[in-house]
Amino acid sequence: MIVQSLIKKRLEKLQSLLFEFMTSESPYTFEQFVVNLTDEIKSFSHSSVCAIYLLDEWKGRFQLYSKGGAAEESLRIHFSLDDLHNQKTSEPDVHQLIDAKSVGSSLRITSLYSEGTVFGYLVLKGASSVQIEDGFLGAIGLEVTKCIKKIEGFYMSMEEEKKYELLYKVTSHFHSSIDTDGVLIEIIETLRKTYPDFQYYLLLSNDYTKDNDLPVRELTYDMDLESSASTQAYLTGEVQIEDHLGEKRSILYAPLKGKQGIYGVLKVVTPDYLYFPKKDVEFFIFIANTAGKALENAQLYQQSRKLNSDLQLINSTSQKLNSNMRLTEKIRYMAYKIQQSFHADEVGFVTYEELSSHNVLEGSTEYFTSSESSALVHYVMESISHQEGPLFISDLEAKPIDHVLQYRSLMAVPMKDHEHISGLAIVLHKDPYFFTFESFKLLQSLVAHSTLAFANSILREELEKAVITDYLTKLHSRVHLDRCVEQHVKHDENGSLILFDIDNFKNINDTYGHQVGDEVICQVADIIKTVIGDQGLSARWGGEELAVYIPVLPSEKAHDLTEIIREKIALSTSPAVTVSCGIAPWRSEWLRPDRKQIVQQADQALYKAKSSGRNRIVTAHPIKEKG
């Protein structure tokens, strides 16, 4: 009883000491507070050294805090979570990780817990610390934990307040700026003030800046969308995080979102840091969204300042082109606007990779879709290639073109958006000297604006195609098939889902290797695609499974098509393989099922086909209402 009473008194003395310390101590940083706290605990415990290790979530390691150099001489400055987890014991020996000079039994260590998790360690060293009872050492650790957590909350509140106060100040600068470079500079400066240790890059979909000091990079698009976090952030509008544990760094990609679209991606690199704490991720999302809206405002303002007397035409055209129109619709719209504004007879948009060939974009006027235009287009392509600039010809009659043209006046402007698009906009009129030089300058502005829209449409449509296409077979993806089935089930009266599974496919891989296995999958996919044609939708279901959905076709005919496919695969593949097939037909007069029911029926039919000998077709019982 005497011992317990003595411990209780000592504990009350510690509590009083820590309370007085918390209310009187006001260092500049939380880290300094912890350092000063170790000095207080050292005096109270009469230890020769007192140190506290706290977990740094960013770096994934425990960091040493202690006043004076004595602790650093005998204790490790830090140790990682990996070091802790790599110990092959049920109870990790923290002494081995902390003790740098084999101090051994003179070290006393107690864990600091918060919400059931160790967030740090209290370390005492010296003759007096050895004599401290285990129970009282644990009590000291508990009081230190309470003290640290209370002060940590206080400093975190202060830090968050300062962070958002800084963001609030720069937000007004963002939205008052009419200069895009100014907005980008504000973004980077704000981030560097808040997190000075990190690296920042602005991945922009268009060339916004001429400031060489800004860390601006072009937003590139990987065809393998699954591995491109920056592309995913740009397309989905959602933050993406890559953890490179081997390199001990994390990368965050936050989309710069405005009201009308996404203008790029903020890339944050954390060298020597492993994880992004949730509160910091939220801050990056907030500043990226604020910056995206500011970029949008600055861009719109600059566009409105550029074109003076042509403002109405440019703005109306830009607004239309920046909508969610397909590329063909944009070309057709631009051709119409140019004909209307310049009273042109013909307007054509062509793209090319080499001067020897070109492609007329759908939506150009009728003349450019005829063979008569080829000689003129080749002449314009070569002329622009030589002079490296737009072409303005008052009278084509004097030019060395292969055959006589019905058009005399010509304006041609290159379309160039980095490596995304190479082409020309060509405008013609039957009369010589019809176009003015002012019209020529306006056309250049219009093409400059439209090229960005065209390039974005081309890229977006390529990306859309990549998203809905399986990279190996070039069939549709399962996700795309699922969506289409859902739509067909809602609106059609009947249909069939067919699943194909290559029999004994593992033997192919084991015997010939995975490359041959992939070739076999492609052979099967080509046969399915050829037989089905435009009657249905073919997709890769996963692994060696493929699928076809045939809408508005009787189940008997679906079975006949499946039989043709099964026979062709058995006869035409090399090395030869067979397939098992499961068909799930449905009709609205039986029951309008949902997609999951159809898939389940097809899957069960496929299982029966495989379990009953393979290389055969099983049709599931129709989905009907009970009773």
Q: What angle do CA 10, 15, 21 make, to 5 degrees?
A: 125
Provide DSSP, 506-566.
HHHHHHH-HHHHHHHHHHHHHHHHHHHTTSSEEEEEETTEEEEEEES--HHHHHHHHHHHH
CA 235 – CA 375 distance, rounded (Å): 40
Nearest residue to 618 via CA among 585, 589, 576: 585
Q: Within 13 Å, how many C-alpha atoms sit on residue 23's CB side?
A: 6
Q: Which two tokens stand for residue 201?
A: 């890059």
Among residues 143, 296, 346, 544, which one is catalytic?
A: 544
- 3-state helix, strand, coil split of the chain in percent (to 5) is 50, 20, 30
- Strand pairing class (579-587; 107-114): unpaired
C-alpha distances in angstroms, 77 versus 53, 81, 92, 96, 572?
A: 9, 14, 18, 13, 68
- Strand pairing class (216-218; 199-204): parallel
Taken in order 217, 219, 222, 225, the sign of the CA dihedral is positive
CA 415 – CA 400 distance, rounded (Å): 24
- Residue 323 three-state SS: coil
Identify whether 186 is a catalytic site residue: no
Long-range contacts of 369-373 (CB under 8 A, 24+ apart): 373/348
Report the side by side order of strands in the sheet with 216-218: 216-218, 199-204, 262-271, 249-257, 240-244
CA 114 – CA 146 distance, rounded (Å): 9
Burial of residue 378 (number of CB atoms within 10 Å: 0-12, 13-18, 19+): middle
615, 580 contact by CB (below 8 A): yes
Q: Residue 542: beta bridge partners? A: 545
- Residue 134 three-state SS: helix
C-alpha distances in angstroms, 2 versus 6, 8, 9, 132, 622?
A: 6, 10, 11, 16, 84
CA 251 – CA 240 distance, rounded (Å): 8
CA 122 – CA 141 distance, rounded (Å): 6
Among all residues, which ones are annotated catalytic?
544
